[in-house]
Amino acid sequence: MFHKEGQKIIFITLVIVVAIIFAIDYTVTLPWLRIALMFLALAFFGLILQFFRNPKRIGKLNDNHVLSPVDGKVVVIEEVQENEYFKDKRIQVSVFMSPINVHVTRYPIGGKVAFSKYHPGKFLVAWHPKASEENERTTVVVENNSFGKVLYRQIAGALAKRIVNYAKADDVVAQGSDSGFIKFGSRVDVFLPLDAKVKVTLNQKVKGGVSVIAEK
């Protein structure tokens, strides 16, 4: 199953790859070279397919849990000052996605969207300390009665040139459902209340919509 954000790119890539294979078959006479070049073209198409895959995830829905919004590796767990929405201290948990990870963004909690905003910006590498404040990004806050408010921020990286965010203020959303997509590598920051119990460790690999990153 592939994400709708990749349908156009997948189709265009398929047309190009088929054209390249026909060109190789027509112009390259050495059998080993013809096979090698065709294999490379098909491998490139395979990479595009795996990037836009959208596996169905069945996590245990729980209003007292915060699920990871994306697949990747936990690279930050620290207390920080969140200045855009809360304007107070929060626990930040950041998940870095490599180009080979699933890049679907999922709602970490279910509830009502209290805030959603897009910010144009730079394309610093996703692990840069200033990426959270200077890169192209979106900020979304979801609230429910059990956990309260959770903010997550999609952050573009050096390769990510488009962030897709479906969240709109006042939407009622389901935990683990699709909330957006980030194309070609990036990271997502999650800002939790100070009394949240973090359930992940640095460098831990997590799955979006499945892995519990915090609980009340």
Q: How far is CA 141 from CA 4, 113, 154, 172, 201, in A?
A: 24, 6, 12, 12, 23
Secondary-structure breakdown of the chain: helix, strand, coil percentages, each rounded to the nearest 5: 25, 40, 40
Helix (H, G, I), strand (E, B) or coil at 72: strand
Q: Strand ranges (DSSP E) for the chain?
A: 65-67, 72-82, 88-97, 104-106, 111-119, 137-144, 148-156, 163-165, 172-173, 178-182, 186-192, 197-198, 205-206, 212-215
User: Both tokens of residue 43?
Assistant: 């491998």
- For β-strands 197-198 and 65-67, DSSP reports them as unpaired
The dihedral built from the CA positions of residue 55, 131, 64 and 115, taken in this order, carries a sign that is: negative
Catalytic residue IDs: 186
Which residues, in sequence order, are bridge partners of residue 159?
none
Closest to 82 (Cα-Cα) out of 35, 23, 145, 132:
132
Task: Give me the amino acid identity at 152.
Answer: Y
